[in-house]
Structure 1
Amino acid sequence: MPKLKIALIDDDSERVEFVKKTLIEHQFDVVACLMTDQLNAFYLQQIHADVILLDMDHPHRDIIESCVSQFDLPTVLFTKNGHKETIKSAIEAGLTAYIVDGIQPAKLDNILEIAIEQYKKHKKLLNDLHETKSKLADRKDIEKAKVLLMNLHQLNEEQSFQLLRKNAMSHRMTIGEMSRRLLDAQLLLSQSQFKE
Protein backbone atom coordinates (compact mmCIF):
# COMPACT_ATOMS: atom_id res chain seq x y z
CA MET A 1 0.00 0.00 0.00
CA PRO A 2 1.44 3.41 -0.96
CA LYS A 3 2.36 5.80 1.83
CA LEU A 4 -0.15 8.50 2.66
CA LYS A 5 0.96 11.94 1.48
CA ILE A 6 0.53 14.38 4.36
CA ALA A 7 0.48 18.16 4.30
CA LEU A 8 1.42 19.22 7.84
CA ILE A 9 0.24 22.62 9.03
CA ASP A 10 1.29 23.80 12.48
CA ASP A 11 1.09 26.96 14.59
CA ASP A 12 4.29 26.25 16.59
CA SER A 13 7.59 26.79 14.76
CA GLU A 14 9.61 24.67 17.19
CA ARG A 15 7.19 21.75 17.15
CA VAL A 16 6.63 21.59 13.38
CA GLU A 17 10.11 20.26 12.55
CA PHE A 18 9.95 17.68 15.33
CA VAL A 19 6.53 16.45 14.16
CA LYS A 20 7.70 16.32 10.54
CA LYS A 21 10.80 14.33 11.48
CA THR A 22 8.72 11.93 13.62
CA LEU A 23 6.20 11.39 10.82
CA ILE A 24 8.96 10.63 8.32
CA GLU A 25 10.57 8.19 10.77
CA HIS A 26 7.21 6.38 10.94
CA GLN A 27 7.09 6.01 7.14
CA PHE A 28 4.70 8.86 6.36
CA ASP A 29 5.35 10.96 3.27
CA VAL A 30 5.27 14.63 4.36
CA VAL A 31 4.79 16.51 1.07
CA ALA A 32 4.39 19.94 2.68
CA CYS A 33 5.19 21.49 6.02
CA LEU A 34 3.71 24.91 6.64
CA MET A 35 3.15 27.33 9.45
CA THR A 36 -0.40 28.63 9.83
CA ASP A 37 0.76 32.16 9.02
CA GLN A 38 2.26 30.93 5.71
CA LEU A 39 -1.04 29.77 4.25
CA ASN A 40 -1.95 31.40 0.98
CA ALA A 41 -4.16 30.25 -1.86
CA PHE A 42 -1.38 30.06 -4.45
CA TYR A 43 0.80 27.73 -2.40
CA LEU A 44 -2.09 25.60 -1.20
CA GLN A 45 -3.05 24.81 -4.79
CA GLN A 46 0.46 23.45 -5.43
CA ILE A 47 0.24 20.77 -2.73
CA HIS A 48 -0.61 17.22 -3.76
CA ALA A 49 -1.55 15.44 -0.55
CA ASP A 50 -3.96 12.71 0.55
CA VAL A 51 -4.75 14.34 3.87
CA ILE A 52 -4.20 17.61 5.74
CA LEU A 53 -2.86 17.28 9.25
CA LEU A 54 -3.36 20.38 11.39
CA ASP A 55 -1.45 20.59 14.67
CA MET A 56 -2.67 23.67 16.52
CA ASP A 57 -2.65 24.73 20.15
CA HIS A 58 -5.29 27.38 19.44
CA PRO A 59 -7.56 26.27 16.58
CA HIS A 60 -8.95 29.23 14.63
CA ARG A 61 -12.09 28.73 12.55
CA ASP A 62 -10.82 30.93 9.69
CA ILE A 63 -7.62 28.85 9.33
CA ILE A 64 -9.62 25.60 9.37
CA GLU A 65 -12.10 26.95 6.80
CA SER A 66 -9.22 28.12 4.61
CA CYS A 67 -7.62 24.66 4.65
CA VAL A 68 -10.90 22.84 4.05
CA SER A 69 -11.98 25.06 1.14
CA GLN A 70 -8.57 25.34 -0.52
CA PHE A 71 -7.54 21.70 -0.32
CA ASP A 72 -10.89 19.87 -0.48
CA LEU A 73 -9.18 16.97 1.31
CA PRO A 74 -9.74 15.09 4.57
CA THR A 75 -8.55 17.48 7.29
CA VAL A 76 -7.58 16.19 10.74
CA LEU A 77 -6.88 18.52 13.65
CA PHE A 78 -4.69 17.55 16.59
CA THR A 79 -4.93 19.87 19.56
CA LYS A 80 -4.89 19.96 23.34
CA ASN A 81 -7.95 22.24 23.26
CA GLY A 82 -11.02 20.29 24.32
CA HIS A 83 -13.46 23.19 24.75
CA LYS A 84 -16.91 22.26 23.44
CA GLU A 85 -17.42 25.55 21.58
CA THR A 86 -14.04 25.24 19.85
CA ILE A 87 -14.82 21.66 18.80
CA LYS A 88 -18.27 22.67 17.53
CA SER A 89 -16.84 25.62 15.57
CA ALA A 90 -14.10 23.45 14.01
CA ILE A 91 -16.55 20.75 12.92
CA GLU A 92 -18.89 23.40 11.45
CA ALA A 93 -15.90 24.77 9.52
CA GLY A 94 -15.64 21.40 7.73
CA LEU A 95 -13.05 19.50 9.74
CA THR A 96 -13.06 15.73 9.15
CA ALA A 97 -11.70 14.75 12.58
CA TYR A 98 -10.91 16.60 15.80
CA ILE A 99 -8.41 14.77 18.02
CA VAL A 100 -7.83 16.14 21.54
CA ASP A 101 -4.38 14.65 21.97
CA GLY A 102 -0.90 15.07 20.59
CA ILE A 103 0.10 13.38 17.36
CA GLN A 104 1.07 9.80 18.13
CA PRO A 105 2.54 8.30 14.96
CA ALA A 106 1.83 4.73 16.11
CA LYS A 107 -1.92 5.49 16.13
CA LEU A 108 -1.88 7.89 13.20
CA ASP A 109 -2.39 5.33 10.42
CA ASN A 110 -5.73 4.24 11.84
CA ILE A 111 -6.84 7.80 12.61
CA LEU A 112 -6.05 8.97 9.09
CA GLU A 113 -7.70 5.95 7.43
CA ILE A 114 -10.87 6.54 9.46
CA ALA A 115 -10.77 10.25 8.60
CA ILE A 116 -10.36 9.49 4.89
CA GLU A 117 -13.31 7.07 4.93
CA GLN A 118 -15.43 9.64 6.86
CA TYR A 119 -14.49 12.26 4.30
CA LYS A 120 -15.46 10.00 1.38
CA LYS A 121 -18.77 9.18 3.04
CA HIS A 122 -19.48 12.87 3.67
CA LYS A 123 -18.61 13.78 0.04
CA LYS A 124 -20.90 11.03 -1.24
CA LEU A 125 -23.76 12.31 0.93
CA LEU A 126 -23.21 15.84 -0.38
CA ASN A 127 -23.13 14.60 -3.98
CA ASP A 128 -26.28 12.55 -3.43
CA LEU A 129 -28.02 15.57 -1.91
CA HIS A 130 -26.96 17.76 -4.83
CA GLU A 131 -28.17 15.15 -7.32
CA THR A 132 -31.52 14.83 -5.53
CA LYS A 133 -31.99 18.60 -5.49
CA SER A 134 -31.15 18.76 -9.21
CA LYS A 135 -33.67 16.04 -10.00
CA LEU A 136 -36.36 17.84 -8.00
CA ALA A 137 -35.58 21.11 -9.77
CA ASP A 138 -35.74 19.29 -13.14
CA ARG A 139 -39.14 17.83 -12.29
CA LYS A 140 -40.53 21.22 -11.36
CA ASP A 141 -39.18 22.82 -14.53
CA ILE A 142 -40.45 19.96 -16.71
CA GLU A 143 -43.93 20.30 -15.21
CA LYS A 144 -43.95 24.07 -15.81
CA ALA A 145 -42.71 23.61 -19.39
CA LYS A 146 -45.36 20.96 -20.09
CA VAL A 147 -48.10 23.30 -18.85
CA LEU A 148 -46.69 26.10 -21.00
CA LEU A 149 -46.69 23.89 -24.11
CA MET A 150 -50.17 22.59 -23.31
CA ASN A 151 -51.48 26.16 -23.09
CA LEU A 152 -49.64 27.48 -26.13
CA HIS A 153 -50.33 24.59 -28.51
CA GLN A 154 -53.45 22.93 -27.07
CA LEU A 155 -51.51 19.70 -26.42
CA ASN A 156 -52.27 17.08 -23.81
CA GLU A 157 -49.72 16.26 -21.10
CA GLU A 158 -48.21 13.29 -22.94
CA GLN A 159 -47.87 15.23 -26.20
CA SER A 160 -46.17 18.15 -24.49
CA PHE A 161 -43.75 15.80 -22.72
CA GLN A 162 -42.92 14.03 -26.01
CA LEU A 163 -42.31 17.40 -27.68
CA LEU A 164 -39.94 18.40 -24.88
CA ARG A 165 -38.17 15.05 -25.05
CA LYS A 166 -37.78 15.17 -28.85
CA ASN A 167 -36.32 18.68 -28.75
CA ALA A 168 -34.00 17.81 -25.85
CA MET A 169 -32.66 14.81 -27.78
CA SER A 170 -32.19 16.80 -30.99
CA HIS A 171 -30.23 19.46 -29.06
CA ARG A 172 -28.32 16.84 -27.03
CA MET A 173 -29.42 18.07 -23.65
CA THR A 174 -31.51 16.78 -20.79
CA ILE A 175 -35.26 17.35 -20.66
CA GLY A 176 -34.67 19.52 -17.58
CA GLU A 177 -32.24 21.75 -19.50
CA MET A 178 -34.63 21.99 -22.44
CA SER A 179 -37.46 22.90 -20.06
CA ARG A 180 -35.38 25.68 -18.50
CA ARG A 181 -34.53 27.06 -21.94
CA LEU A 182 -38.18 27.08 -22.92
CA LEU A 183 -39.18 28.77 -19.67
CA ASP A 184 -36.38 31.34 -20.03
CA ALA A 185 -37.46 32.09 -23.61
CA GLN A 186 -41.08 32.50 -22.50
CA LEU A 187 -40.01 34.86 -19.71
CA LEU A 188 -37.93 36.90 -22.15
CA LEU A 189 -40.85 37.14 -24.60
CA SER A 190 -43.31 38.14 -21.89
CA GLN A 191 -40.91 40.83 -20.59
CA SER A 192 -40.38 42.27 -24.09
CA GLN A 193 -44.16 42.39 -24.69
CA PHE A 194 -44.67 44.12 -21.36
CA LYS A 195 -42.14 46.84 -22.29
CA GLU A 196 -43.93 47.56 -25.57
Structure 2
Amino acid sequence: MTGKSTPSQQLRIVVIAPDTLHPDSDDTEAIELAERSRLLRITLLENGYNVIAVLPTDTFLDERIAQLQPDLIVVDAESGARDTLEHVVMATRDERRPIVLFTNDDDTTHVKDAVAAGVTAYIVAGLAPERIRPILEVAMARFQHEESLRRELADARSELQDRKVIDRAKGLLMQRRGLTEPQAYELLRKSAMDRGLKLGEIAQRMLDAADLLG
Protein backbone atom coordinates (compact mmCIF):
# COMPACT_ATOMS: atom_id res chain seq x y z
CA MET A 1 0.00 0.00 0.00
CA THR A 2 1.36 3.43 -0.92
CA GLY A 3 0.51 6.50 1.10
CA LYS A 4 0.10 10.01 -0.16
CA SER A 5 2.98 12.43 0.34
CA THR A 6 2.33 15.14 2.87
CA PRO A 7 3.02 18.78 2.01
CA SER A 8 6.00 18.77 4.39
CA GLN A 9 7.59 15.81 2.58
CA GLN A 10 7.25 17.59 -0.74
CA LEU A 11 8.76 20.82 0.57
CA ARG A 12 12.47 21.08 -0.30
CA ILE A 13 14.34 23.09 2.32
CA VAL A 14 17.82 24.58 2.37
CA VAL A 15 19.16 25.48 5.80
CA ILE A 16 21.60 28.37 6.05
CA ALA A 17 23.67 27.66 9.15
CA PRO A 18 26.43 29.58 10.97
CA ASP A 19 30.07 28.59 10.61
CA THR A 20 30.03 27.20 14.15
CA LEU A 21 28.69 23.73 13.27
CA HIS A 22 32.04 22.23 14.38
CA PRO A 23 33.23 24.56 17.15
CA ASP A 24 36.38 24.34 19.25
CA SER A 25 35.86 22.28 22.38
CA ASP A 26 36.73 25.22 24.64
CA ASP A 27 34.32 27.68 23.00
CA THR A 28 31.17 27.37 25.13
CA GLU A 29 29.09 29.88 23.17
CA ALA A 30 29.95 28.27 19.84
CA ILE A 31 29.09 24.83 21.22
CA GLU A 32 25.67 26.09 22.34
CA LEU A 33 25.03 27.59 18.90
CA ALA A 34 26.08 24.38 17.18
CA GLU A 35 23.76 22.33 19.40
CA ARG A 36 20.82 24.68 18.75
CA SER A 37 21.49 24.47 15.03
CA ARG A 38 21.65 20.67 15.18
CA LEU A 39 18.35 20.49 17.08
CA LEU A 40 16.67 22.75 14.52
CA ARG A 41 17.70 20.47 11.65
CA ILE A 42 16.66 17.35 13.56
CA THR A 43 13.26 18.95 14.26
CA LEU A 44 12.80 19.69 10.55
CA LEU A 45 13.63 16.09 9.65
CA GLU A 46 11.41 14.66 12.39
CA ASN A 47 8.51 16.72 11.01
CA GLY A 48 8.98 15.10 7.62
CA TYR A 49 10.63 18.02 5.83
CA ASN A 50 13.12 17.32 3.07
CA VAL A 51 16.32 19.14 4.08
CA ILE A 52 18.28 19.00 0.83
CA ALA A 53 21.35 20.94 1.99
CA VAL A 54 22.97 22.86 4.83
CA LEU A 55 24.91 25.82 3.45
CA PRO A 56 27.23 28.46 4.92
CA THR A 57 26.84 32.15 4.11
CA ASP A 58 29.74 32.50 1.69
CA THR A 59 30.23 34.07 -1.72
CA PHE A 60 28.89 30.97 -3.48
CA LEU A 61 25.53 31.00 -1.71
CA ASP A 62 23.54 32.44 -4.62
CA GLU A 63 24.97 29.86 -7.05
CA ARG A 64 24.20 26.98 -4.70
CA ILE A 65 20.64 28.13 -4.09
CA ALA A 66 20.12 28.56 -7.84
CA GLN A 67 21.36 25.00 -8.42
CA LEU A 68 19.32 23.43 -5.62
CA GLN A 69 16.07 25.32 -6.32
CA PRO A 70 14.61 24.95 -2.78
CA ASP A 71 10.99 25.71 -1.99
CA LEU A 72 11.88 27.43 1.29
CA ILE A 73 15.01 28.71 3.01
CA VAL A 74 15.50 28.35 6.75
CA VAL A 75 18.11 30.68 8.18
CA ASP A 76 19.66 29.56 11.44
CA ALA A 77 21.28 32.80 12.61
CA GLU A 78 23.36 33.49 15.65
CA SER A 79 23.22 36.81 17.50
CA GLY A 80 23.88 39.78 15.24
CA ALA A 81 22.32 38.14 12.20
CA ARG A 82 22.49 41.19 9.92
CA ASP A 83 25.38 39.87 7.78
CA THR A 84 23.73 36.48 7.37
CA LEU A 85 20.45 38.10 6.35
CA GLU A 86 22.15 40.32 3.79
CA HIS A 87 23.82 37.29 2.20
CA VAL A 88 20.56 35.35 1.97
CA VAL A 89 18.48 38.26 0.67
CA MET A 90 21.10 39.02 -2.00
CA ALA A 91 21.22 35.33 -2.97
CA THR A 92 17.45 35.28 -3.58
CA ARG A 93 17.00 38.72 -5.15
CA ASP A 94 16.56 37.33 -8.69
CA GLU A 95 14.20 34.51 -7.72
CA ARG A 96 12.22 35.19 -4.59
CA ARG A 97 11.66 32.38 -2.07
CA PRO A 98 10.10 32.26 1.40
CA ILE A 99 12.74 32.84 4.08
CA VAL A 100 12.20 31.82 7.69
CA LEU A 101 14.77 33.07 10.18
CA PHE A 102 15.37 31.41 13.53
CA THR A 103 17.64 33.28 15.93
CA ASN A 104 18.66 33.26 19.56
CA ASP A 105 18.95 37.05 19.49
CA ASP A 106 16.04 38.53 21.47
CA ASP A 107 16.78 42.04 20.15
CA THR A 108 13.67 42.64 18.04
CA THR A 109 14.80 46.02 16.66
CA HIS A 110 15.92 44.26 13.45
CA VAL A 111 12.59 42.54 12.77
CA LYS A 112 11.09 45.39 10.74
CA ASP A 113 14.20 45.69 8.56
CA ALA A 114 14.37 41.92 8.10
CA VAL A 115 10.76 41.67 6.95
CA ALA A 116 11.23 44.66 4.63
CA ALA A 117 14.29 42.94 3.14
CA GLY A 118 12.29 39.83 2.27
CA VAL A 119 12.21 37.63 5.38
CA THR A 120 8.82 35.91 5.56
CA ALA A 121 8.98 34.92 9.24
CA TYR A 122 11.32 36.04 12.04
CA ILE A 123 11.33 33.58 14.94
CA VAL A 124 13.15 34.45 18.17
CA ALA A 125 14.59 31.87 20.61
CA GLY A 126 12.43 29.30 22.33
CA LEU A 127 11.36 27.19 19.36
CA ALA A 128 9.42 24.11 20.45
CA PRO A 129 9.40 21.13 18.04
CA GLU A 130 5.59 21.16 17.80
CA ARG A 131 5.71 24.76 16.49
CA ILE A 132 7.90 24.09 13.47
CA ARG A 133 5.15 22.81 11.17
CA PRO A 134 2.63 25.65 11.75
CA ILE A 135 5.43 28.22 11.49
CA LEU A 136 6.57 26.95 8.10
CA GLU A 137 3.04 26.42 6.80
CA VAL A 138 2.05 29.97 7.75
CA ALA A 139 5.28 31.28 6.19
CA MET A 140 4.55 29.48 2.92
CA ALA A 141 0.94 30.70 2.86
CA ARG A 142 2.01 34.27 3.59
CA PHE A 143 4.70 34.17 0.87
CA GLN A 144 2.27 32.79 -1.71
CA HIS A 145 -0.29 35.46 -0.82
CA GLU A 146 2.30 38.23 -1.10
CA GLU A 147 3.53 36.87 -4.44
CA SER A 148 -0.05 36.79 -5.72
CA LEU A 149 -0.53 40.43 -4.71
CA ARG A 150 2.82 41.31 -6.29
CA ARG A 151 1.80 39.69 -9.60
CA GLU A 152 -1.60 41.41 -9.54
CA LEU A 153 0.09 44.78 -8.98
CA ALA A 154 2.57 44.12 -11.79
CA ASP A 155 -0.27 43.08 -14.12
CA ALA A 156 -2.25 46.20 -13.23
CA ARG A 157 0.75 48.43 -13.90
CA SER A 158 1.41 46.66 -17.21
CA GLU A 159 -2.24 47.00 -18.21
CA LEU A 160 -2.21 50.72 -17.38
CA GLN A 161 0.97 51.22 -19.38
CA ASP A 162 -0.48 49.31 -22.35
CA ARG A 163 -3.62 51.42 -22.22
CA LYS A 164 -1.56 54.62 -22.35
CA VAL A 165 0.48 53.32 -25.31
CA ILE A 166 -2.66 52.21 -27.17
CA ASP A 167 -4.30 55.60 -26.61
CA ARG A 168 -1.21 57.35 -27.99
CA ALA A 169 -1.15 55.06 -31.03
CA LYS A 170 -4.85 55.65 -31.66
CA GLY A 171 -4.30 59.39 -31.43
CA LEU A 172 -1.47 59.15 -33.95
CA LEU A 173 -3.63 57.22 -36.43
CA MET A 174 -6.52 59.61 -35.97
CA GLN A 175 -4.24 62.58 -36.61
CA ARG A 176 -2.29 61.21 -39.58
CA ARG A 177 -4.98 59.17 -41.31
CA GLY A 178 -8.08 61.08 -40.36
CA LEU A 179 -9.65 58.07 -38.66
CA THR A 180 -12.27 58.03 -35.95
CA GLU A 181 -11.31 56.50 -32.60
CA PRO A 182 -13.20 53.20 -33.31
CA GLN A 183 -11.53 52.97 -36.74
CA ALA A 184 -8.09 53.59 -35.27
CA TYR A 185 -8.67 50.95 -32.60
CA GLU A 186 -9.91 48.44 -35.18
CA LEU A 187 -6.83 49.04 -37.33
CA LEU A 188 -4.56 48.44 -34.34
CA ARG A 189 -6.48 45.28 -33.37
CA LYS A 190 -6.29 43.87 -36.91
CA SER A 191 -2.57 44.64 -37.18
CA ALA A 192 -1.95 42.89 -33.87
CA MET A 193 -3.94 39.80 -34.92
CA ASP A 194 -2.21 39.62 -38.32
CA ARG A 195 1.22 39.66 -36.67
CA GLY A 196 0.35 37.51 -33.66
CA LEU A 197 1.17 40.31 -31.23
CA LYS A 198 -0.59 41.87 -28.27
CA LEU A 199 -2.39 45.15 -28.83
CA GLY A 200 0.06 47.00 -26.60
CA GLU A 201 3.03 45.58 -28.50
CA ILE A 202 1.75 46.62 -31.93
CA ALA A 203 0.89 50.07 -30.56
CA GLN A 204 4.42 50.48 -29.16
CA ARG A 205 5.96 49.39 -32.47
CA MET A 206 3.84 51.94 -34.31
CA LEU A 207 4.96 54.70 -31.94
CA ASP A 208 8.60 53.65 -32.24
CA ALA A 209 8.36 53.72 -36.04
CA ALA A 210 6.73 57.15 -35.93
CA ASP A 211 9.57 58.46 -33.75
CA LEU A 212 12.17 57.14 -36.20
CA LEU A 213 10.44 58.63 -39.23
CA GLY A 214 9.76 61.90 -37.48
TM-score range, shorter chain: 0.7 to 0.9
Report what 1:5 is aligned to: 12
Corresponding residue for 2:153?
A: 129
1:145-164 equivalences under 5 Å are 145-164=169-188
Which runs of structure 2 are paired with 1:14-29 in the superposition (5 Å)? 14=21, 15=34, 16-29=37-50
Report matched runs for 1:7-156 at 5 Å: 7-14=14-21, 15=34, 16-37=37-58, 39-57=60-78, 58-60=80-82, 61-69=85-93, 72-156=96-180
Paired residues of 2:62 and 2:92 also in contact (CA < 8 A)? no
Task: Please give the alpha-carbon distance, in whole angstroms, between the structure 1 residues aligned to 2:95 and 2:16.
Answer: 12
Partner of 1:187: 211
Contact 2:106/2:125 (CA < 8 Å) preserved in 1?
no
* 1:36 match: secondary structure: coil
Alpha-carbon separation, structure 2, partners of 1:141 and 1:33 = 48
Partner secondary structure for residue 69 of structure 2: coil
* Greater mean alpha carbon deviation, residues 174-183 or residues 62-71: 62-71
Once superposed, what is the RMSD of the aligned Cα atoms?
A: 1.9
Distance 1:161 1:70 in 2: 37
Report if the CA contact (8 A) 2:62-2:91 is conserved: no
**Which ranges in structure 2 are unaligned for 5 or more consecutive residues?**
1-5, 22-33
**Counterpart contact for 1:68–1:94, Cα < 8 Å:** no
Residue in 2 that maps onto 1:193: none
Query: Cα offset for 1:63?
Result: 2.0
Per-residue deviation at 1:140?
0.3
Deviation at 1:82, TM superposition (A): 4.0
Find the aligned partners of 1:10 and 1:158 in 2 and give their Cα distance.
62
Structure 2 vs 1, CA of residues 7 and 103 (structure 1 numbering), >3 Å: closer, same or farther? farther
Matched, 1:165 2:186: no
In the superposition, the TM-score normalised over structure 2's length comes to: 0.81
Q: Percent identity?
A: 35
1:84-139 CA-to-partner distances (Å, cap 9, x unmatched) read: 44112111111111111244332111100000000000000000000000100011
Contact kept, 8 Å, 1:53 with 1:76, in 2: the verdict is yes
Tell me the number of residue pairs that the alignment of Structure 1 and Structure 2 aligns: 190
